[in-house]
Structure 1
Amino acid sequence: MSITRARGRYNGATAAAAARGRTGMPATGAPARRPDAPPGPRPPEMATPMRKKRSPVKDLLLTRYAPIADGIAALFFPYAEVVIHDLHDQTVLYLANNLSKREVGDDSALEEIDHSARERVIGPYEKLNWDGRRMRCVSNVLFDDEGRPAGMMCINFNIAVFDEVRATLDLFIKGAGVVAQPDELFRDDWQERINTFLHGWLRERQVGLNGLTREHRRELVEALHAEGAFRGKSAANYVANVLGMGRATVYKHLKHLKETQGDA
Structure 2
Amino acid sequence: MVGKDKGHHPKLEALFPIADGIAQTFGKNAEVVVHDLRQPEKSLIYMAGNITGRKLGAPITNLVLETLKKNGDQAPNLIGYQTTTKDGKILKSSTIFIRDDDGKIIGCLCINLDITELITCQKILEYYTRTEKPNEPTTQEEFFNDVNDAMAGIVQGVLADYPVPVQLMEKDDKLIIVKKLDEKGVFLVRGAVEYVANVLGVSRYTVYNYLDEVRSTPLNTIT
Tell me the TM-score normalized by structure 2.
Answer: 0.60
Q: 1:194 to 1:88 in 2, by over 3 A?
A: closer
- The answer to whether 1:60 aligns with 2:8 is no
Pairing 1:175-214 to 2, within 5 Å after superposition: 195=141, 212=160
Equivalent AA in structure 2 for residue 151 of structure 1: G
For 1:176-205, what per-residue CA distance to the aligned partner results, in whole angstroms no more than 9, with x for missing partners? xxxxxxxxxxxxxxxxx9938xxxxxxxxx
Question: Contact 1:194–1:224 at 8 Å: present in 2 too?
Answer: no
Tell me if 1:128 matches 2:84.
yes
Shift of 1:115: 3.9
**1-structure distance, mates of 2:216, 2:201:** 13
Displacement of 1:233: 2.4
- 1:186 corresponding residue in structure 2: none
User: Bigger relative contact order, structure 1 or 2, given CA contacts below 8 A and separation 6+?
Assistant: 2
Contact 2:179-2:214 at 8 Å conserved across structures: no
CA distance in 1: counterparts of 2:197 and 2:140, whole angstroms: 16
Answer yes or no: is the 8 Å Cα contact 2:79–2:95 preserved in 1. yes
Match of 2:28, SS state, is coil
Residue 144 of structure 1 is matched in structure 2 by: 100
1:116 to partner: Cα distance: 3.1
State the 1:156 CA deviation: 1.0
Question: In structure 2, do the counterparts of structure 1 residues 249 and 81 end up closer, same or farther at CA, with 3 Å as the change threshold?
Answer: same
Aligned to 1:223: 180
Which is further off, 142-151 or 153-162? 142-151
Displacement of 1:224 after TM fit?
Answer: 4.0
Q: What's 1:111 paired with?
A: 65
> In the alignment, what sits opposite 2:214?
261
Deviation (angstroms), 1:159: 1.4
Note closer, same or farther for the CA distance 1:126–1:55 as it changes in structure 2 (3 Å cut): same
Distance in 1, matches of 2:212 and 2:15, equals 77
Distance in 2 between the 1:194 and 1:259 partners? 29
Q: CA deviation at 1:139?
A: 1.1
Summarize the Cα distance change of 1:149–1:229 in structure 2 as closer, same or farther, 3 Å threshold: same
**Is the contact between residue 4 and residue 47 of structure 2 (CA under 8 Å) also seen in structure 1?**
no
Structure 1 residues 102, 222: CA separation in 2 closer, same or farther (over 3 Å shift)? farther
Question: Higher Cα Rg: structure 1 or 2?
Answer: 1
The CA distance in 1 between the partners of 2:91 and 2:213, in whole Å, is 66
In the TM superposition, what whole-angstrom CA distance separates every residue of 1:101-144 from its partner, at most 9, and x where no partner exists?
Answer: 0111011123152443163x312110002321211111111112
Q: CA deviation at 1:89?
A: 0.9
1:146-174 CA-to-partner distances (Å, cap 9, x unmatched) read 33211111111111111233345456656
RMSD of equivalent CA atoms: 3.9
Q: For 1:263 and 1:136, how far apart are their aligned partners in 2?
A: 65
Partner residue of 1:102 out of 29, 39, 54: 54
Between the aligned residues of both structures, percent identity stands at 22
What residue ranges of structure 1 are gaps of 5+ in the alignment?
1-47, 176-192, 197-208, 241-245
- Helix, strand or coil for the counterpart of 1:98? coil
Task: Return the offset for 1:260.
Answer: 4.3
Contact 2:93–2:112 at 8 Å: present in 1 too? yes
Q: 2:29 aligns with which of 66, 75, 79?
A: 79
